Amino acid sequence: MTDPTAATAATAASDRLTEALLATAEDIAALLRARPDAAARIPGATWSVGEAAAHLALANRLMAELAAGLERPYGDGTPGSLAAANAESLEAYPERDPVVLADEIVRHTAAFVAAAAGRAAEEPVLTPLGPMDLGTLASYLLTHMLGHGYDLARAVGRPHMIDRERVELSLPFLLTAMGRVVDPGAAAGRRGRYALGLRGGRRFGVVIEDGAATVLPQPPERADCTIVAEHVTFFLIALGRCTPWRAVARGGILAWGRRPWMAFGFPTHFKAP
C-alpha cells in the first residue's frame, strides 16, 4: 500500500526540481542574452564562453531525448570517453552565438520537463554516466547546468546561480555518480570510512576501498573522518571547481574524527567527467 505522506513528499520534491531546472536555464540564458564575448575563455578551463554555451545546449537536448525514451549513446561513462564525445559533438555543432544558444538551452530544458512529466520518476534510463532512474536524470541535468552556469558566470563577471536549494536537489545525482567517477589510480590501495554532510542538512557515508567507492545512505559507524561542508562549497568541490584547502581557509568545510587529515585527500579519489 502506498504511503500517502511519502507520495506527497515525492511530488513536492519533483515540483521543486522542475522549478529549479527551468529557473536555472533562465538564469544561464540571462547571462548569455547580455551578449558576452563568445571567444572569452572560461577561467581554469579550455573552453570559451561560446563553446561552454554550445555544450549546454547540446547536453540539454540529449537529456530531453533521454527523458522522452530515446536511446542516445554518448561515450562509455568514463571521463576520457565523455570528453571525447563532448569534443566530437562541439565540432559537429558550430553555433557559438550566445543569444541563439540561450534560447536553445531554455527550449531543451522545457522539452525535458515536458517529456519527464509523462513518465514515472522511477523509470530506468541509460545516461552518459550509466543507468539511473528518470528522477535522478533530472537531478543530473540540474547539476550539469549549475556546473557550467557557474563557469559562465565567472567568465562574464556575474553572480552564479548555485544556492542551498539547488544543491540539495542535485544530491540524488551526485550520490549516484560518486561511485562511478572514482579515479582508480588515485584510489588504488586506499581505505577510508567517511561521514559526509551538508551544514544543517543531509548526512551520508562513503567507504573507499581498493580503488572503489561505496556510497551509504547514512554515515558509517566508526568513521575515520567526518566532513561537513556549506552547501555551495560542497557542490563546487564535488564538481572540481574548488579545492579543499581553499574551502577550509574560507570556513566552508569542517573536518574531525580519528583521522581528520583525510578530508584533504578525499576529493582526489574522484575525477569529475
**Residue positions counted in the chain:** 273
pLDDT of residue 249: 79
CB distance 42 to 156 below 8 Å: no
Residue 199 has pLDDT above 70, yes or no: yes
Q: Which residues pair with 241 in a beta bridge?
A: none
Give the whole-number percent of the chain exceeding pLDDT 70: 96
Class of domain 4-178: mainly alpha
d(CA 196, CA 28): 30
Provide the grid cell at 50: 561560446
CB distance 112 to 67 below 8 Å: yes
Q: What is the mean pLDDT of residues 103-112?
A: 98
Cα 81–138–105 angle (5° rounding)?
Answer: 75
Neighbours of 190 (CB within 10 A): 17
d(CA 211, CA 270): 10
CATH fit for domain 184-269, picks 3.30.1050.10, 3.40.50.2000, 3.40.50.1860, 3.40.930.10:
3.30.1050.10
Provide the grid cell at 245: 584547502
pLDDT of residue 186: 83
User: Which DSSP state fits 200?
Assistant: T
What are the two backbone dihedrals, phi and then psi, of residue 253, each rounded to the nearest 5 degrees? -135, 140
The number of helix segments (H) and strand segments (E) in the chain equals 10, 7
User: Which DSSP state fits 77?
Assistant: S
* Residue with the three cell numbers 557550467: 148
Residue 1 has pLDDT above 60, yes or no: no
Among candidate residues 145, 135, 128, the one with its CA nearest the CA of residue 181:
128
* Residue with the three cell numbers 556549506: 230
Where along the chain do its domains lie? 4-178, 184-269
User: CB under 8 Å to 101, separation ≥6 — which residues?
Assistant: 32, 50, 53, 54, 56, 57, 95
39-53, 131-145, 245-259: lowest mean pLDDT where? 245-259
- What separation in angstroms does the CA of 166 have from each of 21, 26, 153, 163, 186? 9, 14, 16, 5, 29
| pTM listed for this prediction | 0.94
The average confidence (pLDDT) of the chain is: 92
Give the whole-number percent of the chain exceeding pLDDT 90: 76
The 10s digit of each residue's pLDDT in 39-92 is: 999 998 899 999 999 999 999 999 999 999 999 989 888 878 898 999 999 999
Dihedral angle of Cα 163, 141, 27, 54, to the nearest 10 degrees: 140
